[in-house]
Amino acid sequence: MSWNGQIKEVYSINLTNFIILPIFKPLGGDIDGDGKKEIILLGFFQKSTTNEITETLKDKIYVIGNNIVAIDISHITGDFHAPPVAEDINFDRKDEIIIPFLVEIYVIDGKGNVIWNFDKVGGEILSQPVVSDIDSDGKPEILFISRDGKIKVLNGEGKLISEYEVWKRDEIVEVGASSLALVDIDFDGRKEIIGWTDEVFMIRNGVKVWNFIVGGPKGDFEPPLVVNDDGDFKIVVTFANRIYTLKAGKVKK
């Protein structure tokens, strides 16, 4: 394949009265199971003809496939907080949309039906959830960091199956948290969990095995990038004008 040096617009769509929240990047997900991904946007639908956001706003997810479909989620109450994610967590070949609110997670299908919600998050949800099969049993887990300093691990049915401690501090920790990178660094069939708050950390078999203090911002964390350099993993964390590249080191089995 070669690139002919050209780029063309496939389509552009004017979403009248739809306000996309800046922190929510568009998601790709196949929510109708036809094998093609839709573009999923989360935002507010504004009925008013004025530019003011009014009390009549309804929260909607826009799904852009061959045509635009709006999924009304105004029956779900909560404040948008961290970005949503689209993954198939129940093996029906359709991606569900996992929406983290301040203190609750909702999973909805492509019609807006609530599949489950989970509200025992232990304080606000700090990170975009990630979906990954961390124990290689063929079933996906959903992981995020909560204000109580723990990574919550939910199964595909929304049950809390594990909690892993990231920080143990008495004072209220004000920093935010990145979403988590899940990589099997030592090739033992279980994924290690790498993330960062004011420190980069790695959790292996449920226990924090190292941390590296980087300081940095209090919010808007880019997820860590884990690069496999021929089996020699490097972890890249960037913020402001700094890049940290860490070597995970040998992990004893």
User: Applying CB under 5 A, which part among 3-11, 95-103, 117-125, 164-172 lies near Ca ion?
Assistant: 95-103
Q: Which is nearer to Ca ion, 145 or 194 (CB)?
A: 194
Select the residue interacting with Ca ion from 72, 79, 119, 137 (CB under 5 A). 137
Task: Please tell me the distance from the alpha carbon of residue 98 to that of residue 135, in angstroms, as a whole number.
Answer: 21
Is 115 in contact with 125 (CB distance < 8 Å)? Answer: no
Select the residue interacting with Ca ion from 32, 148, 163, 198 (CB under 5 A). 32
Is there binding between residue 68 and Ca ion (CB under 5 A)? no
Select the residue interacting with Ca ion from 78, 90, 122, 173 (CB under 5 A). 90
For the CB of residue 251, give the shortest distance to Ca ion in the complex, in Å. 7
Is there binding between residue 135 and Ca ion (CB under 5 A)? yes
State the binding string over 147-176 for Ca ion (x if CB under 5 A, else -): ------------------------------
Is there binding between residue 198 and Ca ion (CB under 5 A)? no
Q: Which is nearer to Ca ion, 29 or 176 (CB)?
A: 29
Question: Which residues are CB-contacts of 126 (< 8 A; sequence separation ≥ 6)?
Answer: 82, 144, 145, 146, 147, 176, 177, 197
- DSSP for 108-163 reads E-TT--EEEEE---SS-B-S--EEE-TTSSSS-EEEEEBTTSEEEEEETTS-EEEE
Q: Which of 193, 200, 229, 192 is nearest to 216 (CA)?
A: 200
State the binding string over 173-192 for Ca ion (x if CB under 5 A, else -): -----------x-x-x-x--
